[in-house]
Amino acid sequence: MQLPEAAPLSLWPSRLAVQTTGDASAGHAHHTIHLVLAREGRLGLRLDGSERGAHAGLLTPPDLPHAIDGAGRTVLLLFIDPESRPGRRLRSSLDGVRTFDDAERDALLEGL
């Protein structure tokens, strides 16, 4: 038996997506652009230590401290390297946190 030739590995891809059961996070920041969408329901959001309501999804710029409560919900997480080509384009149009309502979230998730 011959194994197929291995594809080159990327140590950190410019985009990384995962779907999982959410949790409530403590305050944190990361150097990626961060998209979080609840498959159903809403996610709690805290910025600068204060509640910012519940949203169907949110997009955070790099290095912004935040906390998200997605406990018990199925969530889609997408991390985008801010120095990658898609990250630079997205970052140029992102001014702070972008939240999504149910209709916007549903449109983004359509077909996934």
Q: Decide if 23 is inside a domain.
A: yes
- pLDDT of 103 > 70? The answer is yes
Q: What is the 3-class SS of the chain, one letter each residue?
A: CCCCCCCCCCCCCCEEEEEEECCECCCECCCCEEEEEECCCCEEEEECCEEEEEECEEEECCCCCEEEECCCCEEEEEEECCCCHHHHHHHHCCCCCEEECHHHHHHHHCCC
Please determine, for residue 14, whether its predicted confidence score (pLDDT) is greater than 80: yes
* Within-domain flag for 57: yes
For the stretch 19-36, pLDDT in tens is 999 999 999 999 999 999
Please state the pTM of the whole predicted model: 0.85
Higher pLDDT, 17 or 112: 17
11 is a domain residue: no
Parent domain of 86: 19-109
Instruction: Assign residue 34 the CATH number of its domain.
Output: 2.60.120.10
- The pLDDT tens digits of the residues spanning 48-92 come to 888 999 999 999 999 999 999 999 999 999 999 999 999 999 999
- pLDDT score, position 29: 94
* Domain assignment present for 9: no
Whole-number pLDDT of residue 9: 67
What pLDDT score was predicted for residue 5?
A: 74
72 occurs within a structural domain = yes
Q: Indicate whether 2 belongs to any domain.
A: no
Domain presence at residue 59 = yes
Residue 12 within any structural domain of the chain: no
Number of structural domains in the chain: 1
